[in-house]
Amino acid sequence: MSDFGLIEDLRRWLAEDVGWGDVTTNRCVPESARCVGRFAARGAGVLSGIDCARQVFALLDPAVVFEAHLADGEPFEPGTPVATVSGPARPILTGERLSLNLVQRLSAVASLTRRFVDAVSDTGVTILDTRKTTPGLRRLEKAAVVHGGGCNHRFGLSDGILIKDNHIIAAGGIAAAVEAARSGNAMLRVEVEVDTLGQLEEALDAGADGLLLDNMGPDLLREAVALARGRAWTEASGGVNLTTVRALAESGVDYISIGALTHSAAAVDIGLDFEMQTSK
């Protein structure tokens, strides 16, 4: 995401949260009050979204000083200092929730991704995300997947052809769908979702570049990989979790795509602790 795109999103999210003004802060905290806020990890994980937090405070008040102690993609343990923010207390209090929401959410995606990547680290398999992202957060969540060591699948519907089961029904079959997909931009590779070896053979005969092997167990995956080898890349998908991912990877597939990276990552516990500064 460009800086401009991120800033525009942050402006919208601040407007959603602040509305007509932070009445609690503005009524209770003197305008002259100054503070130091320390972002600290209360659990283990992998950081993502620290630049978002920086921009939140910069938008609220350029006088706020933000110092990151870790970069996106770096691991942390409970108690690790993540960042320090200092300056006028009012904008720091106003930006606290949005900055934490973003860092906790994006670090959750990066952290879960890292667990999957570590689980298959010696197999040669690439862990991919999906389009099962939070509306409005796709660019940031996909960046978080990369921070966790994974890779991005297509960003949206316009940058890759993935013929799924309902496309096949609507197009009149696998061969018809692949032929129609080939009629447009030749630069786009064509991937077809299959859930049986019969469909896999149809997709290969039709000239598919890749095969999304949907909800296949390890034994069936091994057969599918053997049939596809040298003809198309293979991607396992469907209900993948940390218990099953290793066996799926050992089947020999090239990729494993996991919707849970973005739709089921639990927020990482990162807090912001305040200390007031006295005037000199």
Mean pLDDT of 136-145: 97
pLDDT at 1: 45
Query: How far is Cα 221 from Cα 250, in angstroms, rounded to an integer?
Result: 9
Check 34, 38, 97, 139 and give the catalytic one. 97
Active site (annotated) includes residue 132: yes
Domain boundaries, the chain: 3-116+266-277, 121-263
pLDDT at 2: 52
Check 38, 131, 132, 189 and give the catalytic one. 132
Active site (annotated) includes residue 209: no
Pairing of strands 161-163, 126-128: unpaired
Query: How far is Cα 164 from Cα 128, in angstroms, rounded to an integer?
Result: 17
Active site (annotated) includes residue 164: yes
Write out the H or E segment, with its range, that includes residue 193.
strand 190-194
Active site (annotated) includes residue 193: yes
| CATH architecture entry for 121-263 | Alpha-Beta Barrel (3.20)
Active site (annotated) includes residue 142: no
Give yes or no for residue 10 having a pLDDT over 70: yes
Q: Per residue in 106-139, pLDDT tens? A: 999 999 999 999 999 999 999 999 999 999 999 9
238 conformational bin, left if phi > 0, alpha if psi -120 to 50, beta if neither = left
The superfamily in CATH containing domain 3-116+266-277 is Quinolinate phosphoribosyl transferase, N-terminal domain (3.90.1170.20)
Q: Per residue in 230-260, pLDDT tens? A: 999 999 999 999 999 999 999 999 999 999 9
Check 17, 214, 250, 254 and give the catalytic one. 214
Give yes or no for residue 4 having a pLDDT over 70: no
Q: Which residues contact 85 (CB under 8 A, 6 or more apart)?
A: 36, 37, 38, 39, 53, 57, 64, 65, 66, 67, 92, 272
Q: Per residue in 207-225, pLDDT tens? A: 999 999 999 999 999 999 9
